[in-house]
Amino acid sequence: MTGLFAVWYSQPYWKQISVNLQAYSEAQEMQSGLQALAYFDQQEMLDQAEQHFERILSRTPEHAAAIASLSLVYSYRYAYAGRDLGWLQKAEANAQRALKSNDFLALCHIAN
């Protein structure tokens, strides 16, 4: 009976639990993030892209491609969300951080 209650009580967290139980692949996260970023005009796709890049950065904080991609997410949010300067500042800060991390990566220069 207690087990059933625990399962029922944890229901709101099932999605988060399933995400955390999935095997982590940096390459897969990057690919999924870039695929979601291709649909930058849809808010939910930007959210998905951001989640993928943040997942990479939570494990590898200086991953230049993920930082640059996150900068692109913020740039698109700036362009499509009413020109909020907060997004532009985040985009610029991440682009600079990506360039410092790896200035040979083309994606860093695109973000900049």
Nearest partner of 74 among 86, 91, 99, 57, judged by Cα: 91
Which two structure tokens, joined as six digits, stand for 15? Answer: 């999605």
Nearest partner of 29 among 44, 45, 51, 61, judged by Cα: 51
Segment 60-92, tens digit of pLDDT? 999 999 999 999 999 999 998 878 899 999 999
Q: What is the pLDDT of residue 84?
A: 86
Q: How far apart are CA 66 and CA 50, in angstroms?
A: 9
- Counting every residue written for the chain, the total comes to 112
Q: What is the pLDDT of residue 23?
A: 82
The answer to whether 94 touches 65, Cβ cutoff 8 Å, is no
Q: What is the pLDDT of residue 43?
A: 92
Nearest partner of 70 among 43, 48, 42, judged by Cα: 48
Q: How far apart are CA 57 and CA 73, in angstroms?
A: 14
Residues of the chain with confidence (pLDDT) below 70: 1-11, 13-21
